[in-house]
Amino acid sequence: MTWPKAVEYTRPFVVKISTPRGTGTGFLLYRLEGSDLYGIATAAHVIDHAHYWEQPIRFHHPNSQTSVLVRHEERAIFLDEQRDTAVILHSIGSKDFPLPAKPPILAPEKKCLKVGNEVGWLGFPAVSSSNLCFFSGRTSCFISKDHAYLIDGVAINGVSGGPTFHLNQPTQDVLIIGVVSAYIANRATGETLPGLSVVQDVSHFQELLAKFQSIAEAKKNEAPPQKPPPNPEGKDATP
């Protein structure tokens, strides 16, 4: 498996997420067999404001050049603010929004990559927001208490929520290890110098996957936001 082939495999799962406040990236996490129910994974801060204010969220699927506007009453959202991860459940006919029939493979539960492994991620950076771009770097460390990797690579506005993946050479599988959450610049000297990207792991997604059966059932279990999202008014919904 090569990186170009890994990108080709992952691209059909990726969507651009637009809210009244900004844009981010997401990917197909879940499809309920025999129905039109699907789940999109992203970073919580990409959609927390829209969730709190019950605003519409638009998904654009570049692979099929289709988009769908998802209103508050048509979806169920599950956020974990501490892990900065979220899943949006929605139902629409596959002809109207042709996502792949099966989602990508997640990294095994309670497993993390060793330091030094190369990973890649996809997203829609603000500098070229209409184009799905590829980035790569190596794992610098894994912080267990935060369920987060620090990655020696760049993450910029618009890429938040993008799938981060690893090539499992023995099995030739592409494994989703997490979602892009933030970029921490090095300001130790007062200047803004290159830093590290933060990628949240897939533990929240693993916990949710088995629980989704229908929008109605999900709505019953959906927890409303407990407080307004922390992002200040007027700031992009991206790191």
pLDDT digits (tens, 9 = 90+) for 114-133: 999 999 999 999 999 899 99
What distance in Å separates the CA atoms of residue 234 and residue 31, rounded to the nearest whole number?
34
Summarize the confidence of residues 217-224 as an average pLDDT: 65
pLDDT at position 159, please?
Answer: 96
Q: Under a CB-based contact definition with an 8 Å cutoff, are residues 156 and 135 in contact? A: no
| pLDDT confidence tier of residue 170, bands split at 50, 70 and 90 | confident
What distance in Å separates the CA atoms of residue 74 and residue 76, rounded to the nearest whole number?
7
DSSP-derived 3-state class of residue 187: coil
The pairing of strands 118-123 and 22-31 is: unpaired
CA nearest to 164, candidates 146, 151, 173: 151
Which residue(s) pair with 28 in the sheet?
Answer: 40
CA nearest to 159, candidates 83, 35, 46, 71: 46
Burial (Cβ within 10 Å: 0-12, 13-18, ≥19) of residue 180:
buried
Residue ranges, comma separated, of all CATH 2.40.10.10 domains in the chain are 12-103+204-221, 105-202
Domain 105-202 has CATH 2.40.10.10: yes
pLDDT digits (tens, 9 = 90+) for 2-39: 999 999 999 999 999 999 999 999 999 998 887 888 99
Give pairs for 64-68: CB < 8 Å, separation 24+: 64/97, 64/98, 66/96, 66/97, 66/98, 67/97, 68/92, 68/96, 68/97
pLDDT at position 214, please?
Answer: 58
The class that CATH gives domain 12-103+204-221 is mainly beta
Residue with tokens 């409303």: 224
What distance in Å separates the CA atoms of residue 85 and residue 47, rounded to the nearest whole number?
10
pLDDT at position 196, please?
Answer: 94
